[in-house]
């Protein structure tokens, strides 16, 4: 299968998952009308674009009126679609697109019906030309955007002001609401966001440039938006794209869409933002939870309130039951996910499709063959990778035996050498960022995510930094969970020291070991636990509402740059500030505590040295 065909199939599969997930759209347009004035259809109206060939920016658009794209049907189950290269036909016809007298008008009824074809609810807001009403509408847009999957904005919504000022203000406020000034104090960053500009303006590339220049003003390079093409911007999980309303002046840029075609194109744009193996799993999982939300709510009905209170009264201590509903809810959600075949998105067949589509998705000639493999094409290399992913590197296969260089490479992966596995990751990347990606994935598996901003509290697995000038010392809390809550007075907490690995020595090719990776500001730190009891620290903290909570403190007086800090007291009575960095997932924290317990319970024996050696 060619990379182009593989990507086409993978994209359409991902598109179906995205269509099942999407539920809500917020549209902001001062010309949105329920019953707009129409005119008779003519042959000289602007062409309506269909879907583009799938790709990450810069793909050729279909603009001919005779090449209308079949709307996506998300009513059929993706898993029941045998030929994933052909999207199923819609079950109901969409109403004909009205020809409007005013090309700037957005027909509410037509757009509503088009989105309803995909089961997507569409809400409309219309800002006033000026004054306090306009500001209030902007606040409502930002509030609505928090619950919307997609936001559609007109570009020109003001009179007497520069075109785009309202749209830019809305985009600014949405991004700040999403990400807290594009980077928050927790390990997680932002949210998934698609913003669409849908305008009658002729110069769409100019709109994209205005947005690009506005968003990147006084922004660090790592936080800046990147140009995908003349009409699309991207930064991490945010995508902004620009399209033109139909009915006005014709254009050859392929960006003119009537509302019927726009809905399909928007789903396609959302797919370009989300398509991937793990992202498809996540989207499919959240779709299953959305579809079963009301069933879960019914399980936790008010008729169970009295039994729950009986459970609380009989439990000692009763405060423990306050967290029990969370565990019950998590269990119900897991039942939903396990019963919906979510992991099919990472089945061997999907993985092979993903791998074979890499040369097309990463762009041709950007992915290369590892220099260790002679006489091997990119496609051959990806076939060997797919074989290793499906069967594992520890079992020889017929394919792996056909190439001695690959066999040598795989044998190295079996050895305990450090950092070698990033070589395997790099086989699937164009920028050789395997080491960085492996570290990012390791954090996903070991570090708890914080999606909101309540103060962190000190608990088993909390990682802190103690600043000493330009140098920081790192520690992990090993206080048992039950001793971190319901605190009535100042309590001492034990911390194990975390060591930074020494700088690599070229004379010693063996890489230093580390236990986990955390983020401290812009730096990723590789930390190793020091289990020696004599290097541990005991710090006393005073509870706030029975917990040890952190407070936000400005760094060097800069109120825009803050850290979460636990303020404690050392054994000598001096005050010490402990900067919160992360919380380890419970199982990882418990493993550290268990190993420390083994360390301090070592038994010293008087025994025959000969016998000890025989046993060892």
Q: Categorize the per-residue pLDDT at 87 as very low, low, confident or very high, splitting at 50, 70 and 90.
A: very low
Least confident of 85-89, 286-290, 307-311, 399-403: 85-89
Q: Write the CB contacts of 139 (distance below 8 Å, at least 6 apart in sequence).
A: 173
Instruction: Report the SS3 class of residue 256.
Output: strand
What's the DSSP call for residue 373? -
In Å, how far are 44, 46, 111, 527 from 250, measured between CA atoms? 9, 4, 21, 59
Residue-wise pLDDT tens digits, 322-372: 889 999 999 999 999 988 888 889 999 999 999 999 888 876 567 788 888
Structure tokens at 219: 């922004």
Alpha helix segments (H runs only) across 303-427: 305-314, 324-338, 348-356, 358-361, 378-391, 404-414, 421-426
Instruction: Write down the domain spans for the chain.
Output: 3-275, 292-444, 450-600
Structure confidence at residue 50 (pLDDT): 47
Element (H, E) at 523: strand 523-529
Q: Write the CB contacts of 562 (distance below 8 Å, at least 6 apart in sequence).
A: 185, 552, 553, 554, 555
What is the distance between the alpha carbons of residues 102 and 105, in angstroms, rounded to a whole number? 6
Structure confidence at residue 236 (pLDDT): 85
Q: If you average pLDDT over residues 34-62, what whole number do you get?
A: 53
In Å, how far are 91, 336, 412, 505, 588 from 512, measured between CA atoms? 60, 42, 18, 10, 20
Structure confidence at residue 455 (pLDDT): 87
β-pairing verdict for 232-235 and 238-245: antiparallel
Residue-wise pLDDT tens digits, 98-153: 676 667 788 899 999 999 999 999 999 887 654 557 788 888 999 999 999 999 99
Q: CA-CA-CA-CA torsion for 27, 32, 38, 44, nearest 10 degrees?
A: -50
Structure confidence at residue 510 (pLDDT): 63
Alpha helix segments (H runs only) across 180-233: 204-215
**548: phi then psi, degrees, rounded to nearest 5:** -95, 100
Burial of 472: CB neighbours in 10 Å, binned 0-12, 13-18, 19+: middle
Does 256 score more than 50 pLDDT?
Answer: yes
Residue-wise pLDDT tens digits, 38-47: 766 554 544 4
Q: Categorize the per-residue pLDDT at 67 as very low, low, confident or very high, splitting at 50, 70 and 90.
A: very low
Structure confidence at residue 320 (pLDDT): 84
Closest CA to 253 of 198, 202, 209, 213: 202
| Cut 0.75: pTM above it | yes
In Å, how far are 99, 241, 244, 289 from 193, measured between CA atoms? 31, 11, 20, 20
What is the distance between the alpha carbons of residues 253 and 239, in angstroms, rounded to a whole number? 20
Q: How many CB atoms lie within 10 A of CB 152?
A: 24
Where would I find the beta strands (DSSP E) of 238-328?
A: 238-245, 256-257
């Amino acid at each position: 299968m060619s990379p182009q065909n593989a990507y086409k199939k993978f994209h359409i599969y991902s598109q179906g998952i995205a269509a099942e997930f999407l539920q809500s759209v917020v549209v902001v347009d001062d010309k949105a009308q329920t019953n707009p004035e129409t005119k008779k259809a003519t042959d000289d109206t602007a062409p309506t674009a269909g879907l583009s060939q799938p790709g990450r920016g810069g793909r050729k658009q279909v603009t001919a009126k005779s090449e209308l794209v079949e709307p996506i049907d998300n009513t059929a189950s993706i898993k029941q679609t045998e030929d994933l290269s052909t999207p199923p036909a819609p079950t109901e016809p969409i109403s004909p697109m009205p020809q409007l007298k005013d090309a700037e008008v957005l027909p509410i009824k037509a757009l509503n019906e088009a989105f309803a074809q995909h089961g997507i609810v569409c809400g409309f807001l219309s800002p006033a030309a000026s004054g306090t009403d306009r500001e209030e509408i902007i606040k409502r847009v930002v509030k609505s955007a928090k619950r919307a999957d997609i936001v559609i904005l007109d570009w020109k919504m003001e009179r007497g002001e520069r075109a785009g000022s309202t749209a830019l203000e809305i985009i600014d406020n949405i991004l700040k609401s999403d990400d807290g000034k594009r980077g928050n104090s927790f390990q997680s960053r932002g949210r998934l966001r698609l913003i669409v500009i849908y305008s009658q303006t002729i110069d769409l590339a100019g709109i994209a440039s205005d947005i690009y220049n506005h968003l990147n003003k006084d922004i660090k390079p790592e936080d800046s938006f990147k140009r995908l093409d003349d009409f699309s911007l991207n930064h991490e999980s945010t995508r902004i794209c620009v399209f033109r309303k139909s009915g006005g002046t014709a254009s050859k840029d392929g960006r003119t869409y009537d509302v019927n075609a726009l809905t399909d194109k928007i789903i396609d744009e959302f797919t370009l933002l989300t398509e991937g193996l793990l992202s498809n799993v996540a989207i499919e999982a959240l779709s299953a939870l959305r579809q079963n939300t009301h069933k879960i709510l019914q399980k936790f009905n008010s008729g169970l309130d009295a039994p729950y209170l009986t459970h609380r009264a009989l439990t000692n201590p009763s405060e423990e039951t306050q967290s029990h509903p969370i565990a019950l809810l998590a269990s119900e959600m897991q039942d939903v996910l396990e019963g919906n075949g979510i992991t099919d998105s990472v089945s061997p067949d999907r993985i092979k499709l993903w791998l074979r589509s890499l040369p097309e998705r990463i762009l041709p000639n950007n992915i290369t063959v590892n220099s260790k493999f002679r006489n091997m094409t990119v496609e051959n290399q990806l076939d060997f990778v797919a074989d290793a992913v499906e069967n594992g590197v520890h079992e020889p296969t017929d394919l792996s035996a056909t190439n001695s260089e690959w066999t040598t490479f795989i044998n190295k992966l079996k050895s305990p050498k450090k950092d070698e596995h990033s070589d395997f990751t790099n086989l699937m990347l164009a920028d050789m960022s395997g080491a960085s990606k492996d570290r990012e994935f390791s954090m996903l598996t070991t570090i708890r995510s914080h999606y909101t901003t309540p103060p962190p509290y000190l608990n088993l697995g909390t990682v802190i930094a103690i600043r000493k000038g330009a140098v920081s010392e790192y520690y992990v809390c090993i206080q048992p969970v039950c001793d971190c809550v319901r605190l009535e007075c100042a309590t001492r907490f034990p911390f194990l020291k975390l060591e930074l690995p020494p700088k690599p020595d070229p004379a010693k090719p063996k890489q230093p070991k580390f236990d986990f990776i955390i983020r401290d500001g812009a730096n990723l730190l590789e930390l190793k636990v020091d289990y020696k009891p004599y290097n541990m620290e005991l710090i006393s903290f005073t509870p706030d509402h029975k917990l040890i909570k952190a407070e936000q403190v400005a760094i060097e007086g800069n109120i825009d740059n803050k850290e979460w800090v636990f303020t404690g007291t050392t054994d000598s009575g001096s005050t010490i500030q402990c900067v919160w960095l992360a919380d380890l997932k419970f199982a990882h924290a418990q493993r550290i505590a268990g190993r420390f317990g083994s360390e301090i319970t070592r038994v010293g024996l008087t025994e025959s040295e000969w016998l000890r050696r025989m046993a060892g």
